[in-house]
């Protein structure tokens, strides 16, 4: 029995470099950073830079709708609205019983939770919002996207830290392959640019503090996220969402849908090494990449491009280079490897989804985005990491997107040009 094939028919995002897919893609290709100084009362915070959303979700969503959503759900809704329209799916185009959602989040409605806690302390329990629970719950973004599109096949919320977005895509792939849905709205979202999460990440030495000491140079933040560079000292927190419409191939062809790429396979593993540190030998991530290739029926030589997890941390970037070299061996020099986090910062649970969109567009347009701020490559990194956009080879090609998260989570997803 042949396996059901899954294709990408719609894309949507809101990110630190653009409020939609076209502006985000253009910014990534041109090497534009979305990292900036934070406005407001951040003077006492150890880190005062982040990749805030380029367009406020309240500029897109109805005001009443927006007030009922945590920021993470607002961002997910903006991305989902764009992806749904991009796929050309009108009312009645999909049987609701065959339509599902898998929108991930690593942290969920943390801003609502913390803001409501402040209200509780300062003004008392009777001043809490009656919408606090449906706003702060982790599955709120997925649930609201499910209501938006009328999904009844299942609405899911994978939570695996920074691997969450790609796990949502992998789960959606399985749902379609198993015949549980014909269309899945999948991706991830995050909005954790708040004093407490940022201070907590800073306390564990995960965030870069560069450019936070002196705010005289307005361009300094754009140079801080520097994956694979010898001067990297931690990641930059970003916010945003990415949503893909995934569709069974025959269903998409029957309605004449535009197809960006095929979702070929996924690999999911765990390090079982440390709650926050990657396995220095990269064994779990290596297995995830290999499983994604095996699941896709691909050989190492079939891959032209990798959008890497590469967050700009000292340990993680070298470990990922080791993983890629282990899997691809003699073919590693044929890979164009990119870290778009150099421009967007790290979107945590939304990272894999945004970067999967970049991977799909790299295949679709035959060009890979650059990695910016790479002045001196770490000697432990043996990869071709171009500083400017690079054209990809002709013919049928495939590409990978890697995501790794706290808790040892590893997810790799593979996309290819439709053969």
Rounded Cα distance, 282 and 59, in Å: 42
Q: Is 348 helix (H, G, I), strand (E, B) or coil?
A: helix
Q: Taking the CB of residue 269, how many other CB atoms lie within 10 A of it?
A: 21
Selection from 233, 321, 309, 311 nearest residue 281 by Cα: 321
Rounded Cα distance, 179 and 244, in Å: 19
- Structure tokens of 33? 């950073």
Q: In the beta sheet, which residues pair with residue 6?
A: 248, 263
Rounded Cα distance, 273 and 279, in Å: 6
Torsion-angle region of 282 (φ positive above 0: left; ψ -120 to 50: alpha; else: beta): left
Rounded Cα distance, 224 and 50, in Å: 10
Rounded Cα distance, 49 and 224, in Å: 9
Hey, which residues are catalytic here?
A: 162, 309, 346
Say how many residues make up the chain. 419
Q: Is 121 exposed, middle or buried (0-12, 13-18, 19+ CB in 10 A)?
A: exposed
Rounded Cα distance, 370 and 27, in Å: 11
Q: How many CA atoms lie within 13 A of 210 on its CB side?
A: 18
Please report the sign of the dihedral spanned by the C-alpha atoms of residue 281, residue 283, residue 288, residue 293.
positive
Is there a contact between 358 and 246 (Cβ–Cβ < 8 Å)? no
Which DSSP category does 61 fall into? S
Rounded Cα distance, 357 and 246, in Å: 12
- Structure tokens of 239? 């916010």
Q: Is 63 helix (H, G, I), strand (E, B) or coil?
A: helix
Rounded Cα distance, 296 and 299, in Å: 9
Alpha helices in 9-109 (DSSP H): 21-30, 63-67, 71-86
């Amino acid at each position: 029995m042949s396996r059901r094939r899954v294709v990408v028919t719609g894309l949507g995002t809101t990110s630190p470099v653009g409020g939609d897919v076209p502006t985000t893609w253009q910014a990534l290709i041109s090497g534009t950073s979305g990292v900036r100084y934070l406005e407001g009362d951040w003077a006492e915070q150890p880190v005062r830079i982040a990749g805030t959303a380029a367009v406020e979700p309240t500029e897109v969503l109805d005001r009443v709708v927006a007030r009922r959503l945590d920021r993470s759900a607002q961002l997910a809704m903006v991305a989902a609205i764009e992806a749904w329209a991009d796929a050309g799916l009108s009312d009645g185009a999909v049987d609701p019983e065959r339509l599902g959602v898998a929108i991930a989040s690593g942290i969920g409605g943390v801003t609502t939770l913390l803001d409501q806690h402040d209200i509780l302390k300062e003004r008392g329990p009777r001043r809490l919002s009656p919408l606090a629970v449906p706003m702060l719950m982790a599955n709120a973004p997925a649930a609201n996207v499910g209501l938006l599109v009328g999904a009844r096949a299942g609405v899911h919320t994978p939570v695996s830290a920074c691997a969450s977005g790609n796990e949502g895509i992998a789960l959606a792939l399985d749902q379609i392959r198993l015949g549980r849905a014909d269309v899945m709205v999948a991706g991830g979202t995050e909005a954790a640019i708040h004093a407490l999460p940022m201070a907590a990440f800073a306390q564990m030495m995960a965030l870069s503090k560069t450019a936070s000491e002196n705010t005289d140079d307005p361009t300094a933040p754009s140079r801080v996220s520097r994956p694979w560079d010898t001067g990297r000292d931690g990641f930059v927190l970003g916010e945003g969402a990415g949503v893909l419409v995934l569709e069974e191939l025959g269903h998409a062809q029957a309605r004449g849908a535009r197809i960006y790429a095929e979702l070929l396979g996924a690999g999911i593993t765990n390090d079982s090494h440390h709650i926050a540190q990657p396995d220095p030998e990269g064994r779990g991530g290596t297995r995830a990449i290999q499983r994604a290739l095996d699941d896709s029926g691909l050989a190492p030589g079939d891959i032209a491009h990798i959008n890497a997890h590469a967050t700009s941390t000292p340990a993680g970037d070298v470990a990922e280079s080791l993983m890629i070299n282990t899997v691809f061996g003699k073919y590693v020099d044929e890979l164009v490897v990119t870290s778009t986090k150099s421009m967007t910062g790290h979107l945590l649970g939304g990272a894999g989804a945004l970067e999967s969109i970049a991977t799909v567009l790299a295949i679709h347009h035959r060009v890979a985005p650059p990695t910016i701020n790479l002045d001196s490559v770490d000697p432990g990194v043996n990869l071709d990491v171009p500083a400017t956009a690079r054209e990809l080879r002709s013919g049928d090609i495939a590409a990978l997107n890697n995501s790794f998260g706290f808790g040892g989570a590893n997810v790799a997803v593979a996309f290819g040009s439709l053969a």
